[in-house]
Chain A
């Protein structure tokens, strides 16, 4: 039965045009970034950085390197936006449209309904992130050769890798990014379980993340970094570090999973107590 309910949620989610806005926006942004990388000084700056550190730039200005470069702004800006948009819709849009009342006249428990919705949201997060990574790599491959990978994030990662190892880590980093997306979606989902408009749930989730990001950047809060979600969201970049910081990686992963469970439980408590009226 749960499979049926999950299937229902996936039908509903992927049957809507607005679900695909995120995918379209990613492809557009990636194309623009590729053009910018190809035809502006962006590529020269990268070549200079590699040469300055004693590497042959021709070996590392590749499809994999460009894909990772393109990922950073998308992961910071677009992914949270679209994950929150879909998460905010999951319950609140159904309540707004009146279909939630139709569902809740049936003998399904609120917990089961929410669990099916949350699982569908997690599937969406995975698909969104894997598409993001897949299209980035494919588009970059049209313009750049398949060679070694160079990853650079100021203050975090500086690494060069052979193509095979780079691709393996690229896939791993996307799995971790999918966890990030599911946390963001879960946050918006939690708000949407309360009596509010879908847009309000999305805005609240994004505001919460923005406040986290701002506070994390204030020197006073340095010692409380572990309390801010963006600190743990950077887990996807850690996989490129050599050696892999397993302790930091696993602890961040546990925090993100715990955040997911917490937002689900808060949402469930709110939804359970709520009266559903037309």
Chain B
């Protein structure tokens, strides 16, 4: 659905996106993570044809955005942080204006979407009278009106209260479930990404430093919780057999490369050592993200996965 191939972007002498490769398959909720200035919004700008890439190719729904903008964006809806509208016009008029840039919308479709986002009854009020939450719903409505297949959300929860954030999260899940939309979500909120996304890419200083499934982020470390009757002798024996590389805290062992937990279980059971529990230690997305940021862009960090 979204393909970025070797994309570079420079603003003057400053390189803000460097050799970015991104593939978002249809049907995913794909998270784009990174700190402020990491290049997320620039990448999204390039996907929407608002920012011209210095080099590289950006394709949406199979069409090159720079040369076939009309076709590329015909099935795309987008929401930006702090959505902006013509405050002096009504919500309905805003929807009519924005949707007509894709294609004219029938009154029936307009009514359907207004009801879907929960703005019925307030659509004829001026947008300046809307709360943050209502503006977010209006933003969603304008994105949904052209019946998109791909939804690009750039910090959609920005400025919302906890209740609004929860509502937005539920709406995204509903969109994915009921309408089968592919969703690209750029967010600072790691918990939001953790709850919504199936795959993520992490950007740091314009470079992708990780791309993979959320499950991978949880299992990137080889630490395993091992509860046995005699920890130290067991560790000694496991090291001797080359099954583990390290141990810590009297209960964690680091598996040697290529070793699975089943081999540890077999080894311990064969030694007739009572085994109470064995489980992989899962990292939270926050731990994972922070470790990525700390390791920076070092190629030896083993984190860059293109």
Contact = CB atoms under 8 A, between A and B. Distances in A.
Interface of A: 1, 4-5, 8, 11-12, 15-17, 97-99, 101-109, 113, 273, 275-278
Contacts of B72: 107
Nearest to A97: B84
Which range contains the number of B residues in contact with the other chain? 35 or more
Interface of B: 11, 41-42, 45, 48-52, 69-74, 76-78, 80-86, 88-89, 93, 96-98, 100-104, 142, 146, 152
Given A5-B100, A8-B100, A107-B102, A99 B48 contact: no
Nearest to A12: B86
Contacts of A113: 101
Contacts of B80: 98, 101-102, 105, 278
B117 to A, nearest CB: 16
B97 A278 contact: no
Q: Which 3 A-B residue pairings sit nearest by Cβ, starting from the closest?
A: A98-B84, A106-B101, A105-B78
Contacts of A273: 52
Contacts of A5: 100-101
Given A15-B89, A102-B85, A105-B48, 11 more contacts: A5-B100, A8-B101, A98-B83, A99-B84, A102-B78, A102-B142, A104-B50, A107-B69, A109-B69, A273-B52, A276-B50
Contact of A104 (B49, B71, B84, B86): B49
B159 to A, nearest CB: 13
A56 to B, nearest CB: 53
A107 B97 contact: no
Nearest to B73: A107
Contacts of B152: 105
11 contacts: A4-B100, A11-B97, A12-B86, A15-B88, A99-B84, A102-B78, A104-B48, A104-B49, A106-B146, A107-B69, A107-B76
B98 A103 contact: yes
Q: Which residue of A15, A99, A102 has the most chain B CB atoms within 10 A of its CB atom? A: A102
Nearest to B93: A11
Given A16-B88, A107-B71, A102 B98 contact: yes
Nearest to B83: A102
Given A98-B80, A275-B11, A276-B45, A107 B88 contact: no
B300 to A, nearest CB: 34
Given A98-B82, A101-B80, A108 B101 contact: yes
Nearest to A276: B50
Given A107-B102, A275-B45, A276-B45, A15 B51 contact: no
B101 A109 contact: no
A102 B71 contact: no
B86 A106 contact: no
A17 B128 CA distance: 14
Given A107-B74, A278-B41, A102 B84 contact: yes
Contact of A105 (B11, B76, B86, B100): B76
Given A98-B84, A105-B78, A275 B51 contact: yes
B52 A103 contact: no
